Amino acid sequence: MRIQQLRDLLEYVANCRLDMAQLYGRLNNQADSARVKMMLDYFESHQKTMAEKLRDYIEEAPHRILDTWYKDFTFEDFTKRCQDTMLPANMNEDDVLNLHLDLENRLIGLLEKTVNSTTAEDARNALANLIRVEKTQQQRLVHSTIRMDDI
């Protein structure tokens, strides 16, 4: 994926979130364990919510930030990664959590790479805030997942 403007990047990340939601839905259909299915339902719902919130941010953010340009900025085909990802039917909670963290960390890494190549201060601040929110959400999600063990 080639990214030219910050708007493109944010839209791409929102689409990646929806790709993750589709992946979790597909894995849910294949999973044997009721606990794993519950976890995948939770992750799927969470990704859809995150994509919606990111799209809301895109609509509300100042154009001067969203119109920040990048030169020759590329990222992996995340859609293909999600489509090609398979887990066995006997997957467990750790398998799902590890997959989720890998995908999340790839997206956070993309945002961190972008903030490091951004010269416009407004855009840098916006991205830094988004990274902070993403990491906080990731921590909360992991904590919620760990609490599921207590159920």
Spans of all domains in the chain = 3-150
| Residue 101 C-beta-side C-alpha neighbours within 13 Å | 12
User: Who has greater pLDDT, 75 or 102?
Assistant: 102
Q: pLDDT by residue (tens digit) across 111-127?
A: 999 998 888 999 999 99
Q: Which two tokens stand for residue 49?
A: 């919510």
pTM of the predicted model, to two decimals? 0.91
Instruction: Give the CATH architecture of domain 3-150.
Output: Up-down Bundle (1.20)
Q: pLDDT by residue (tens digit) across 11-69?
A: 999 999 999 999 999 999 999 999 999 999 999 999 999 999 999 999 999 999 999 98
